[in-house]
Amino acid sequence: MDYTEATKEILAITHGETDSVSLMATLACEIHRRHPMSDWTGFYRVVGPELLKIGPYQGGHGCLVIPFSRGVCGAAARTGQIQNVPDVEEFPGHIACSSTTRSELVLPFWNGAGQLLGVLDLDSDTPAAFTKADEDWLVPLLAEVFREAQ
């Protein structure tokens, strides 16, 4: 996967947009289309204290509501840290939204004002599907795309 070209194209598509849901929908589509290991790509939005709800995504259905206290997505939102889980069966409290998911990469993201907007969740039916290179691509991409988001 060409991360540089993907970033260039995604930034061109999203340039000037500040609506967070529109940005999430566009990124879910573009990342899912480009990442060969992601079977489910989507966002969970912060909608209240310690609460995530499903946002735009690509793939089969996802969990509708995830408290910060549960699962990989909750852990990412709660801690503000990337969760790269090579085997979801080994993650305490993993929520099985899909019985086929084997690995997961979840990245929290904020707007430029430091407000946690949600988490980006990539799921794969392949164990250990996500790499440090994926993290290094997505962290700055999310920061740039959502810098002015509301």
**Structural domains of the chain, ranges and CATH numbers in brackets:** 3-145 (3.30.450.40)
Question: Residue 92: beta bridge partners?
Answer: none
Short-list 29, 35, 53, CA closest to 123: 35
Is the pLDDT score of 139 beyond 80?
Answer: yes
Q: Which of 63, 76, 66, 69 is nearest to 120 (CA)?
A: 76
* Closest to 35 in 3D by CA, of 113, 144, 134: 134
Total-model pTM: 0.95
- The residue ranking higher by pLDDT, 98 or 109, is 109
- Residue among 30, 28, 26 nearest 3 (CA): 30
CB contact at 8 A, 67 and 74: yes
Asked if 18 and 148 count as a contact pair (C-beta separation under 8 A), the reply is: yes
Give CA separation, 72 vs 3, 87, 99, 104, in Å.
24, 11, 15, 8
pLDDT score, position 136: 97
Q: What is the pLDDT of residues 51-100, one digit of tens each?
A: 999 999 999 988 999 999 999 999 999 999 999 999 998 988 777 777 88
